[in-house]
A and B are shown apart, each in its own frame.
Chain A
């Protein structure tokens, strides 16, 4: 059995009386792309800092490819690269000099790939770091991490400040890494990014793991969004087994359905039903559902009636 790329066991971090991370267990297999979600202050960055040995855990342990993140940090760091959310680099060095320095400290660089990445991210490496915009500094960090072709990429909200074109370049680069068998641990607030890139998603809440699984597994556990249109006044569907949060809007009904769809189909028979659309929840809806977003937000933010999101459609 392969050694997990990341193994976290009962990891806890307290700052004084406040608990940033509580008894976290998590495993990431080699070659997986795992999204790590959670609102501000949920403990995502704390997890990453403990993984990198930058912080000391209050309890529990973490391993990277079987190497203890605290005691064997140097050996673990040889096999990973990290991109932080905030780019803090030496303002007097140029982009080229920064990449040279970080490559030498890392100990391995694919020079051809480095040049390719500089072109892909359209970075001018002759400029000094202090002259870079926030987005360009972030590109520099991405290139510095990707150019060493590490076995594990730890990315903490890595695309802050990137324009949509560079966001695409980032997705392309992560896709390449995945295709080469590299593992990616991606903490992000951009849910579409996580949805597009990740095999599995872990959702953190108040320093605890609230949910983990593939998107399909998470969707399976969640409610289906159903939009029904009628010729006249819609029937009362609140008593139908599994139906929750039914909202009537003229001749339209928006509802959430948990469990089998058959009782609802039976209830709709002979009610003047003109159209029926159903879809699985988006990652955003799953995420919001986990954090107790208001019902009306859930119903307001979904795709418009009559538009479906592909394979999520059901009859």
Chain B
């Protein structure tokens, strides 16, 4: 029963994400083969992108991208593995800890099952979701690979699909494990997200510094990259993925059987002396409730920023003198400094994290209403618009601080290596990533004002779409109107180029307009509980 319930929701979600991945694979492969038709064109592509520092940091080391196999392997594993991992951790924490937190698991456990059996059933349900994603991705790769211009065998297609869904498998299991550790869904997703961040950071360092490339074996994302399902024919690293996934899933079931329903391994104390500071008004309350989450996000931003700052000098010197880097520089219209160019591309990771913070802020605002907590405030002498304005202002402040932290972190990292990039330049580069996040926040706030129940799906969907467009649009020519739909498209790659403050002001203005409009709509609609 539980397996069916979990499976139904996991399969629906896994199939949907898998479908998006499949469409992405088919469209991108088709674009590559139609745009790079000659050997010379593909060699040019390899020269321009194969040594591109930023892209190697973001997506992993490029290998034989003058062939469709090498290009597909690099591009799809680099992008879809991360998105699949995010899906895995969000799905597992939502369907396990989220259901338990809402009290719905209690209803199922009073039926003819045991705690241990229920945990196994829930894990099997998640496995069904993964299978649905694999089937969709495999269908996409087989359709793309069967074209004469691509020419991938079904075996290769299945191997690539296995690699592409490996991130999802690992983080479904990690999500199941942290759902046993944390008492709330949000906290569980936070821990799993931090683990994904660490895995990504290790992979990034390993791929940008030849001297420490061996570190890649410390990251599960590195294992997936090292499997090279189309160019290396070495699938043994995927066995490591399988072992890690199974071990983690078994550990999750083992822990689930040994704890009380509703409780968590990392239990918080049930009582404490009152701390009334920050509990004088709704804004203080919001600060108090989200301070640990925001601190974790800012720490992630700072960590990534320091990381890319620290690796910038050595990563750039690794590639100095390459003809590819010259082409990259001219294409970007950069300062002529390889370090600035590297930072201009890799700071996109910081932009993505700040945009994720924006999405999580909108979700948190939604959650306050859906959980019924907002009602407890709004039945008291408190204007809806005052609450919303204060809450939105707080979120916008968090985004601005995240941008500044990104700039300072990058500068601090770069300064340790005596990289030739100034403090002011990097603070500007940090602030440059805030407007896209503001636009995303505005879209989310407007959706919240109109249709609160679909807000989370809209805001994360839009972020995923923008990420896909941003990461994929640069390589194959995508129509301009499609690129325009990405929140990141009008963000200049500072510090490789100077920030375009006019474009930034337009993005920020649109975001704030969406927020104001969302606030007005919120004031005129019914309050809705989940």
Q: A residues within 8 Å of B by Cβ?
A: 49, 52-56, 73-75, 77-78, 81-82, 84, 86, 88-94, 96-97, 100-102, 104-107, 124-128, 130-131
Contact = CB atoms under 8 A, between A and B. Distances in A.
Contacts of A130: 183, 270
A126 B271 contact: yes
B279 A104 contact: yes
What does DSSP make chain B's interface, helix, strand, loop or mixed? loop
Given A97-B279, A105-B381, A88 B375 contact: yes
A104 B281 contact: yes
B380 A77 contact: yes
Contacts, number: 92
A130 B101 CA distance: 10
Contacts of A52: 378-379
Contact of B375 (A54, A96, A97, A127): A54
Given A74-B383, A126-B273, A90 B375 contact: no
Nearest to A124: B271
Given A88-B375, A89-B376, A128 B271 contact: yes
Given A90-B289, A105-B380, A128 B272 contact: yes
B270 A131 contact: yes
B15 to A, nearest CB: 30
B268 A105 contact: no
Contacts of A106: 380-381
Contacts of B382: 74, 77, 105
Interface of B: 183-184, 268-276, 279-282, 285, 289, 371-373, 375-383, 524-527, 529
B375 A84 contact: yes
Given A88-B529, A104-B279, A105-B281, A54 B378 contact: yes
Nearest to A57: B526
A105 B377 CA distance: 7
28 contacts: A52-B378, A52-B379, A54-B375, A56-B524, A74-B382, A75-B381, A77-B379, A77-B381, A81-B379, A88-B372, A88-B529, A89-B373, A90-B373, A92-B268, A94-B271, A94-B272, A96-B276, A97-B275, A97-B276, A100-B274, A100-B276, A101-B279, A101-B285, A107-B381, A126-B273, A126-B274, A128-B268, A130-B270
Nearest to A106: B380
A107 B282 CA distance: 13
Nearest to A52: B379
B380 A86 contact: no
Contact of A97 (B274, B373, B524, B526): B274
A186 to B, nearest CB: 16
Contacts of A104: 279-281
A86 to B, nearest CB: 7
A100 B285 CA distance: 11
Given A54-B375, A125-B274, 9 more contacts: A56-B524, A78-B381, A82-B379, A89-B373, A92-B268, A94-B274, A126-B273, A127-B270, A131-B271
A52 B377 CA distance: 12
Nearest to A50: B526
Nearest to B262: A130
Contacts of A105: 281-282, 377, 380-382
A131 B270 CA distance: 6
B102 to A, nearest CB: 12
B289 A88 contact: no
Contacts of A96: 274, 276
Contacts of A54: 375, 378-379, 526-527
Contacts of A89: 373, 376
A56 B270 contact: no
Contacts of B279: 93, 97, 100-101, 104
Contacts of B289: 90, 92
Contacts of A77: 379-382
Nearest to B529: A88
Contacts of B529: 88
Contacts of A81: 379
A128 B270 CA distance: 5
A96 B282 CA distance: 16
B506 to A, nearest CB: 34
